[in-house]
Structures are given as C-alpha cells and as structure tokens.
C-alpha cells in the first residue's frame, strides 16, 4: 500500500498572508507621495508598532510605488517623545498624524480619512448602513502553550520571589 503524502490540513501560511494583504477595506492612497514614521524600537508606542506590523504591509501591497520610511529609534523609559507619521502628498503639502496612545485601527482610520478618497467614503457608508463598525476589531491570537513546571523553575530569567530573592 503506498504511503499518503503528508499534506498540512487547513490553509497554508501563504494563503493566510495573502488573505490578510487583500482584506477589505483596500488602503488605496493615490494622493500620498510618501509616509515617514518615527517610533520607539521597543518598550513603548504599542499602537504605532502594531500599525507598522499589520496595516503598513497592506498599504505597501496596494501602493507599491509609495515611498515608505520607518525610523525605529531606541528609547529609554526616561525619555518622553510621541510616535509620529509624516504624510507627504503629491501636491507638496505635508500633514502629521500623532500616533501616541492610539490603537493601530484608529491610526489606520485617521490616515484613510485624510487620504482615502471616494472608495473610503463609500466603504464607510456601506458599513454604517449595515450597522457594522468602520474597521473590524482585530482577532485575538491563540494563547501560547503553557510551560511545564520544570521549565518554570529552571528558567534563569524568572524573577526570584519570596525566600529565593533574599537568600544567597
């Protein structure tokens, strides 16, 4: 009897990525020449970093000729500066979007309100007529599997508490 080939069940990783890139609403930004984002490399600016990870990929996929620059700067907890997006239009004007303490969906919606044009207005009317939010909330990711008890106690990065923190 011949062996069955091992084929992964369910959608492939590539089909998931393409579905994410092609999901509605399409971020068609014909009036924008370039985007310049400045945000913290880590430990802060969570909404802006999530926007770069999720929505900026879709924007790049739909607008391949747009100049997009992302400047991730190391930031210490003592420093206080907000993340910012500079939007340059084809007519030479620039506008900035303050991304401080905003969800990635709010940043995306603000950018689309600024430069989405007629397709974006049509999308908003369709969603309002259907009684749906303008942008669907993000789907939660599956929880990571729990570590075993041995892994928890042998983890060198685990903070010491109780008597272990006091004793040498």
The tokens describing 62, both together, are 């739909």
CA 51/CA 53 separation, integer angstroms: 5
The tens digit of pLDDT for each residue in 56-88 reads 999 999 999 999 999 998 888 888 889 999 999
- Residue 162: pLDDT band with limits 50, 70, 90: low
Q: Is residue 8 exposed (0-12), middle (13-18) or buried (19+ Cβ within 10 Å)?
A: exposed
For residue 110, which phi and psi values (nearest 5 degrees)?
Answer: -65, -40
Q: List domains and CATH numbers for the chain.
A: 23-130 (3.40.30.10)
**SS3 state at 127:** helix
């Amino acid at each position: 009897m011949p062996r069955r080939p091992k084929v992964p069940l369910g959608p492939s990783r590539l089909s998931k990525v393409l579905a994410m890139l092609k999901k509605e609403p399409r971020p068609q930004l014909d009036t924008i020449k370039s985007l310049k984002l400045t945000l913290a490399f880590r430990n802060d600016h969570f909404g802006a970093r999530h926007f770069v990870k999720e929505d900026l990929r879709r924007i790049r996929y739909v607008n391949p000729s747009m100049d997009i620059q992302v400047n991730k700067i190391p930031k210490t907890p003592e420093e206080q500066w907000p993340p910012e997006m500079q939007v340059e239009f084809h007519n030479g004007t620039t506008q900035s979007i303050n991304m401080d303490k905003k969800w990635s969906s709010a940043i995306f919606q603000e950018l689309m309100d600024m430069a989405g044009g007629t397709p974006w207005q049509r999308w908003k009317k369709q969603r309002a007529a259907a009684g749906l939010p303008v942008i669907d909330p993000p789907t939660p990711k599956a929880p990571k599997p729990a570590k075993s008890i041995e892994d928890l106690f042998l983890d060198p990065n685990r903070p010491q508490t109780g008597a272990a923190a006091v004793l040498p």
